[in-house]
């Protein structure tokens, strides 16, 4: 029998998994429920392209706006018809396990508020996860600097994008000379502890050492060196799809619980009858529960 006391913590369940089990747990396409893996990827990519075309046709958009000096450091800005700098801004970070996907054709909220969608360089060599985190930080500094009268900047990320958004809870804004007006985080089916990822086939090259994984794990930082909330009123919504894998569920719940223990204003939602990829498609529907939560949060706070 186990006796818990002091700093002893139960062993994480993933540590008892084989490499094959970890590959399965951290491969979202294997958990889709209504389409095959390849069909799901193809279908949702096409849907994303269609929604993006509609958004560009019905509102004003600024494409490939540079927020840094590198070729890949650009963002797309989607604006409603009535443009004002004194508005809330939503910044979206796409997924793709840090290695694939670009900001074209991913997501929008039907022009309800300005949407920023930064691109980051693909992670093809050691150290580029650190680079991506730095790029995300740069993109937020850019938004705050370009729109200093904003009524709040809200970060939304899906999968690996949720991880990048969550890392902003730890950012040293003083180093950048700008403190962004961050009001909320919407983290969709994310990964927050990267140690299990370093043992999977696809993502092992991203995290060659334990130090790399820990340095880029918001959950690890919040547990070992808790960070005081930048703003006690800043809202953090952690969501996971009902049909996401058990490991995605565990990570989401553990991250939410750690946020609560650290004094952050966090909430948790399990999205009914939804898999990892359907979350994005559903989010293009104005009456979808998560879309409504995000809209209410932004406009009630602003």
Catalytic residue IDs = 159, 244, 276
| Nearby residues of 8 by Cβ (< 8 Å), 6 or more positions away | none
Helix axes 160-167, 128-146, angle to 10 degrees: 70
Bridge-based pairing of strands 60-66 and 182-188 is unpaired
**Residue 90, phi-psi category: left (phi > 0), alpha (psi -120 to 50), beta (remainder):** beta
| Nearby residues of 127 by Cβ (< 8 Å), 6 or more positions away | none
| Nearby residues of 91 by Cβ (< 8 Å), 6 or more positions away | 115, 116, 117, 118, 139, 140, 143, 153, 154, 155, 156
Query: Do 145 and 182 touch, CB atoms closer than 8 A?
Result: no
> Pick from 178, 163, 164, 95: which is nearest to 132 by CA?
164
């Amino acid at each position: 029998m186990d006796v818990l006391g002091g700093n002893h913590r139960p062993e994480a369940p993933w540590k008892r998994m084989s490499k094959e089990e970890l590959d399965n747990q951290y491969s979202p396409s294997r958990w889709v429920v209504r389409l095959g893996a390849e069909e799901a990827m193809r279908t949702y990519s096409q849907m994303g392209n269609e929604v993006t075309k509609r958004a560009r046709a019905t509102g004003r958009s600024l494409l490939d706006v540079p927020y840094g000096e590198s070729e890949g450091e650009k963002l797309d800005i989607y604006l409603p018809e009535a443009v004002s700098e004194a508005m809330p801004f939503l910044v979206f970070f796409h997924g793709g396990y840090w290695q694939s996907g670009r900001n074209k054709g991913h997501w929008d909220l039907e022009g309800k508020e300005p949407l920023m969608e930064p691109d980051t360089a693909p992670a093809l060599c050691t150290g580029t996860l650190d680079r991506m985190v730095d790029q995300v930080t740069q993109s937020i500094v850019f938004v705050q600097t370009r729109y200093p009268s904003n009524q709040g900047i809200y970060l939304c990320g899906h999968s690996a994008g949720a991880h990048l958004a969550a890392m902003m809870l730890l950012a040293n804004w003083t180093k950048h000379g700008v403190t962004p007006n961050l009001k909320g985080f919407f983290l969709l089916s994310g990964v927050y502890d990267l140690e299990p990822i370093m043992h999977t086939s696809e993502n092992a090259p991203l995290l060659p050492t334990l130090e790399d994984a820990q340095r880029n794990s918001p959950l690890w930082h919040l547990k070992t060196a808790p960070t005081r909330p930048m703003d006690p009123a800043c809202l953090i919504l952690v969501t996971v799809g009902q049909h996401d894998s058990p490991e995605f569920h565990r990570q989401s719940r553990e991250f939410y619980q750690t946020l609560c223990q650290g004094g952050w204003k966090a909430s948790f939602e399990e999205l009914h009858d939804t898999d990892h990829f359907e979350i994005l498609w559903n989010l293009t529907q104005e009456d979808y529960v998560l879309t409504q939560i995000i809209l209410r949060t932004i406009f009630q706070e602003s």
